[in-house]
Amino acid sequence: MFLPTLEKMKRFSNWYQQFVKNPTLSSQRMYIQAQELQKQVKAFEGLFIPAHVFTPFKSLYGKGVKTSLLEVFNPDLIDGVELGLSSDTSMADTIHELQPYTFLTNSDAHSLEKIGREYQKLRLEAPTFHELKLALNEFKGREVIANYGMNPLLGKYYTTICRGCHQRIEYTKICPNCGSKKVIKGVSERIKEISATQGASNRKRPPYVHQVPLEYIPGLGPKTLEKLRDVLHHDMYIIHKATYEEIKSHSQKQLAERILQLRRGELHINPGGGGTYGSVIVQKNKK
């Protein structure tokens, strides 16, 4: 949700407090119907964007009983859809009912290291709320021109995992390996389940650029990372643009090779699931 002014945000916050138990804590359950929330956001001229829509448990598609946003929201009061860490455009575009909406990729700011791991590049005339609204509607050249996000395999909920034995399995209510009922359905499997009830989207989408946050690179410690950031502008420059020589001159040859290997997609990933992030598997150098 985005609101155009601080004054309207304060008014919305005052309204919101009556529906939660503790308004000072994040991740509070709101005791109100979703469509009523949409109406209130629109009453304050805000933007309503469901976030990380495929994450298990509490997201739009996270509950197995729901296979359509029509069961939860008024589709006419949605301004965009944020995909979450365990999915990307190619996955979400298999769901036809998402065709009308611009896809956003945003990182939760739970810590400094998590800021910027997902974002989008926008074409705007000015960095304003009004221009953002125009971009979500692709009006007069304003638009999202690229999404940048983690490879979905690195997401915490990409694949189905049994929390009892920590094995990857196909979804079932009871794990065939250990008998546990703590089976968490992966986003990849959930999307296939939803798309089976619909057709695919045929909307033209901007490119989705996979990126691997620097903290995931094996062998890259905090001191070296701090040094790279000091001399090479910022993480996005290091991940996407820095040359081999630039990186090597401020770290090690092996790290420079790994960063470029990740940039080119020459990597293997141990998929995440069940609340645990995936991990990068280091490849041997090709001779």
At 80-131, the pLDDT tens digits run: 999 999 999 999 999 999 999 999 999 877 788 888 899 999 999 999 999 9
Q: pLDDT value at position 287?
A: 44
- Pair (51, 139) in one structural domain: yes
CB 130 within 8 A of CB 120: no
Q: Domain holding 233: CATH number?
A: 1.10.150
- Both tokens of 216, joined, read 């995931």
CB 225 within 8 A of CB 234: no
- Pair (224, 136) in one structural domain: no
- Pair (60, 135) in one structural domain: yes
d(CA 105, CA 146): 10
Alpha helices in 33-101 (DSSP H): 34-43, 89-92
- Pair (77, 203) in one structural domain: yes
Q: What percent of the chain has pLDDT over 70?
A: 97
Residue 145 has pLDDT above 60, yes or no: yes
Window from 130-134, 147-151, 215-219 with minimum mean pLDDT: 215-219
Q: Are strands 103-104 and 143-150 parallel, antiparallel or unpaired?
A: unpaired
166 in any annotated domain: no
What is the dihedral sign for C-alpha 163, 165, 167, 169? negative
CB 185 within 8 A of CB 171: yes
- Pair (260, 200) in one structural domain: no
pTM score > 0.85 for this model?
Answer: yes
pLDDT digits (tens, 9 = 90+) for 235-249: 999 999 999 999 999
Q: pLDDT value at position 285?
A: 54
Instruction: Indicate the number of domains in the chain.
Output: 2
51 in any annotated domain: yes
Average pLDDT, the chain: 91
